[in-house]
Amino acid sequence: LQKLIHLLQATDDPLIQEQVLITLSNSAAFSVNQDIIRNLDGLSVIGGMLSNCLPKVKEKALNALNNLSMNIKNQEEIKVFITQVCRTVESAPLDSDVQLAGLRLLTNMSVTSDYHQKMINSIPCFLHLLSEGTERTQIQVLKVLVNLSANPAMTRHLLRAQV
């Protein structure tokens, strides 16, 4: 895992970046690896890939963070990327793999109310995706919205959102 994280930092080759991110994502299926990746500063390295302009690399980074977000300690570090993930969801092409990967990560990060405040500005976008997206996108958006609606502090934001 350490070598993969170093390789991800060292290379500019998008094909290698994709493969490393896929491998890290698959490794994150095991909780012990989730801790190791966090302890090796892998979350910030993977999060750094979110600013990559290539959609495939960005998608793989979102998928890796999604798998890593199943760990509460990892969520504490991933929270710094929530605003960027929301912007990515908003700017990605409608129904794209990048948009869906971002919504899946936001679903995991919104299971508890700890990070709901960071998603408030994206509520109008979520509602837009709900009306304009395909069924796959709608399902992912609904998961985020259901999680947000479980928090009484979000009621006002959800009801006041301009659609």
Are 72 and 108 found together in one domain? no
Domain housing 85: 80-162
Tens digit of each residue's pLDDT (9 = 90 or more) over 12-22: 999 999 999 99
Q: Are residues 12 and 42 part of one domain?
A: yes
134 has pLDDT over 90: yes
For the cut 90, the answer to whether the pLDDT of residue 34 exceeds it is yes
Same domain, 103 and 154: yes
DSSP collapsed to 3 states, the chain: CHHHHHHHHHCCCHHHHHHHHHHHHHHCCCHHHHHHHHHCCHHHHHHHHHHCCCHHHHHHHHHHHHHHCCCHHHHHHHHHHHHHHHHHHHHCCCCCHHHHHHHHHHHHHCCCHHHHHHHHHHHHHHHHHHHHCCHHHHHHHHHHHHHHHCCHHHHHHHHHCCC
Q: Are residues 136 and 151 in the same domain?
A: yes
Average pLDDT, the chain: 97
Domain-terminating residue out of 79, 112, 141: 79
Q: Express each pLDDT in 61-88 by its tens digit.
A: 999 999 999 999 999 999 999 999 999 9
Do 73 and 4 fall into the same domain? Answer: yes
The answer to whether residues 19 and 91 belong to one domain is no
Q: Kindly indicate the confidence band of residue 137, based on its pLDDT and cuts at 50, 70 and 90.
A: very high
Q: Are both 107 and 152 inside the same structural domain?
A: yes
The count of domains in the chain is 2
Residues 69 and 85 grouped into a single domain = no
Q: Which of 47, 79, 111 is the last residue of a domain?
A: 79
Model pTM score? 0.96
pLDDT for 121 equals 96
Of 13, 44, 79, the residue that ends a domain is: 79
